[in-house]
Amino acid sequence: MDKESKEIISIILLIFFPIILFFASFMIGRYPISPIDVINTILCPIFPQLEVNSTVTTIVFEIRLPRIIGAIVVGACLAVSGAAFQSIFKNPLVSSDLLGVSNGAGFGAALGILLSGANIITQIFAFIFGLISVAATYLISKSYKAGGILVLVLSGVAISAFFNSLISAIKFIADPDDKLPEIVYWLMGSLASINTDKLFMIAIPVIIGLIILLALRWHMNLLAMGDEEAQSLGLNPSRVRLLIIAGCTLLTSAAVSISGIVGWIGLIIPHMSRMIVGPDNRVLLPASLSLGASFLLLIDNISRAVIAIEIPIGILTAIIGVPIFLYLLKRGYSEWS
């Protein structure tokens, strides 16, 4: 099979696999639903004459649909952010939480749970502190005259460690019978509490972030050539890099605010996408979006179906993600060098 045929097959799979997985996810759970019931329930608003079960309708539209959409959104956001960060920092070990956004959002959520416990407060606090962590990272890096990408990354490591210590402090003072289990469960990552209200709250940041990154994916190719080369082609590297960081921050903060901390997606999915479509960001970012959405949807289905007790998705992404990453590391790529 020639290279062109492989690329066509890969693109077809990246388009149709998430769609197939989307419909299959409605059937999986503690209450199994047949394919015919799923199809009839989804088509019922268009064709009222179809016979549907009220219980199945409630499960499909009020429980599983928001969760499935949430898994797609979170997986896509983390994967696209990871791919963008790996591109602009020219480092294959970079992930979507590079600049401290995950730990910042984690602290915000823990603080929201400690002070209130209301889902809306927790989500708002997580989103705001995710943005604050990246803003602090950027401002600290700019305070050094001899700054640059290295200082920015090191500032992110410091801010991430700072917020991680604050999370530990909150867990230490939280009520061990009430607040602490809720904080720990949130930090492990879960899609169980996602509803339409939470999805609507993150819709605007997600749309803005995706528009920024997808519109600038051509510029990412120029940045990969080096700042001097990009400047010679009329690009302002600092400004473009800042816009990309802002887009990644919006996506990651929005994702973490509804799912908790979910690791490894922003690291391994860009690598897998690069193996399929190559390093060109014009196709790499859309491929990462598709593969990230499919991966987390698959992980969430496993968490709901394997045992009676739902497994936090953060645990599963680590268990499955580590072997995948080691496999990718063993194979390596010549195109990244």
Q: Which CATH class is domain 3-331?
A: mainly alpha
* Domain extent listing, the chain: 3-331
Q: What is the pTM of this model?
A: 0.92
Residue labelled with tokens 């816009």: 243
Per-residue pLDDT of the chain (337 residues; tens, 9 = 90+): 566 677 788 888 898 999 999 999 999 988 889 999 999 999 988 888 888 888 999 999 999 999 999 999 999 999 999 999 988 888 777 787 778 899 999 999 999 999 987 888 999 999 999 999 999 998 998 888 766 778 888 899 999 999 999 999 999 999 888 899 999 999 999 998 899 999 999 999 999 999 999 999 999 999 888 888 888 888 898 899 999 999 999 999 999 999 999 989 999 999 999 988 888 999 999 999 999 999 999 999 998 887 777 888 999 999 998 898 888 777 765 444 4
Buried b / exposed e over 44-53, threshold 16 CB at 10 Å, is beeeeeeeee
Distance of CA 155 to the CA centre of its chain: 22
What does the alpha-carbon distance between residue 228 and residue 246 come to, in Å, rounded to a whole number? 22
What does the alpha-carbon distance between residue 112 and residue 318 come to, in Å, rounded to a whole number? 26
* The two three-digit tokens of residue 212, written as one number: 């920024």
Contact yes or no for 271/83 (Cβ under 8 A): no
Encode pLDDT of 19-53 as tens digits.
999 999 999 988 889 999 999 999 988 888 888 88
* The two three-digit tokens of residue 116, written as one number: 């209130």
Instruction: Give the per-residue pLDDT at 50.
Output: 83
